[in-house]
Amino acid sequence: MLDMPPPSNAGGAIEHRLDYADGSRRRVFVTHVETPYPQGRLIVSRTDTRGIITQCNQSFVDMSGYERSELIGQPHCLLRHPDMPAAAFRDLWETVQAGRQWHGYVKNLRKDGGHYWVFATVVPNVRDERIVGYTSVRREPSREKVAQAEATYREWIRS
Amino acid sequence: MSFNFTVSPSFPAERISDWYIFNTWLQRSLSIPIHLELHDGFDAQRAAIEAGQVDLIHANPFDASLLVREKGFRAIAQPDGAPDEMVVVTALSHPAQAIGDLQPGTRIACANDPCVNTIGRILLEPANLNADNTLEQQRSTYIQVAKDVLRGQVDVGFMPVGAYRGLSSIVRRELKVLVTSDIQVIHHVFLIGRDLHSRADDFVRILLSMHETEKGQDLLSALGATRWQPIQQEDVEFMIDIISTLTQ
Ligand SMILES: Cc1cc2nc3c(=O)[nH]c(=O)nc-3n(C[C@H](O)[C@H](O)[C@H](O)COP(=O)(O)O)c2cc1C
């Protein structure tokens, strides 16, 4: 995955290095700007069995800040925010690979370095008794739940 | 032997006669005997499905989940036009201006449409409201839901967009929409059961060409669409995967 170019308004952005589960790395620039969740919508994406994005809806495109063509074919960790602990995603992958639903609160990184919070559910796509991919559907979380998740994730990252 | 056709009970009552005309058209076009049975509510319809008394159905997305995954039904077509969306309404005079203003103890009026109610519940989640800190009152029609809201007997009502638009303008003027769902990916589908799978191609052919005759067009517009669109089994499977994330 390509490093993020430094934003033009680099003043408020903090540089981070992300270490992914597969050993690769990416440089990102993160701001404190939160994009509010679009009311009444679901944010939907689909991946193959390795987590490469194969399909997404317009809300997913809008919230990510990328063009659709920059998303399809990319690994889903393109949206990973440095404030998200690796353990959350390990749990996600273990759960869905075992054929079960995972859900949790996720802080996602936008192309512009800002973020948005979601309550995400990931399900395996089972066809003829085989897992052929995964679908994630996100909905709007309450601020109380976001505050709790923020505190928990900060704790996980520290320990 | 005749085949049993039904329609998920979420359609407006004014359309009952249109479904009978549709059924007659279907029988003539396919030269097979089909009996239309419109069930009195979701419970009666689910019971008919369980008893194997449904062979073809115009199904809401939640019924489609059950029928495709557990009963071997196959998707034939979907009507074009607006997907299935819903609104959360309150009285114009209610202090809440947005979902976030609703407080624990919120009273909800709804009908017993599992589809609408599930999405309604999701739309209340941003206010941290759930089954444990709200009171739900089920009514048999959306008119009654609107009345409960107007009289202040409840704080909010759930209803499909179609039912909301169908309310008289006098009633609508006294209501305020707090949020309209914009799910996009969830819609009704026409399904056939195992005993009709051998006729699947005929069903696809006649439904997809229905808009080509004037009579077909009239019927479609009575049912709120302009034509049937083809649908692949995988499209329905994808919709069902999405629904499964909403019903956990
Ligand atoms: C269907 C699906 C959707 C996912 N959505 C996200 C997402 O929105 N944001 C995110 O950071 N990771 C998401 N992930 C997890 C990523 O694949 C990845 O595990 C995560 O970003 C952490 O990267 P890493 O596993 O390489 O360390 C998703 C995975 C799947 C299968």
Question: Does pLDDT of A11 surpass 70?
Answer: no
What are the residue boundaries of the structural domains of chain B, listed by start?
Answer: 3-82+186-246, 86-180
Protein residue with its CA nearest to atom 4 in ligand 1:
A76
Q: At what angle do helices B233-246 and B114-124 cross, to 10 degrees?
A: 50
Show which of residues 134-193 on chain B sit within 8 Å of chain A, judged by CB atoms.
179-185
Q: Which one is the CATH code of B3-82+186-246: 1.10.10.10, 3.40.190.10, 3.40.50.300, 3.40.50.10800? A: 3.40.190.10
CATH class of the structural domain B86-180: alpha beta
Average pLDDT, chain A: 94
Strand order in the sheet with A102-109: A53-56, A43-47, A130-139, A115-127, A102-109
Whose CA is closest to B58, among B114, B14, B5?
A: B5
Residue of A nearest to B120 (CA): A40
Q: What are phi and psi of B238, to 5 degrees?
A: -65, -45
- The token pair at B175 is 């209501």
Smallest Cβ distance to A44: which of B125, B185, B248? B185
Domains of chain A: 37-158 (3.30.450.20)
What is the interface pTM, i.e. ipTM, of the complex? 0.91
pLDDT score for A9? 62
pLDDT of residue B247: 86
Beta-carbon pairs below 8 A across chains A and B: 66
Q: What is the pTM of this model?
A: 0.91
Percent share of chain A, pLDDT over 70 = 97
Q: Which residues of A touch B123 (CB under 8 A)?
A: 40
A119 burial class (0-12, 13-18, 19+ CB within 10 angstroms)?
A: buried
Q: Tell me whether residues A137 and B99 touch, CB distance under 8 A.
A: no
Residue A14: phi and psi, rounded to 5, are: -110, 135
DSSP H helices in A36-142:
58-64, 68-71, 86-97
Fold identical between B3-82+186-246 and B86-180? yes
The token pair at B182 is: 């914009």
Percent with pLDDT over 70 in chain B: 100
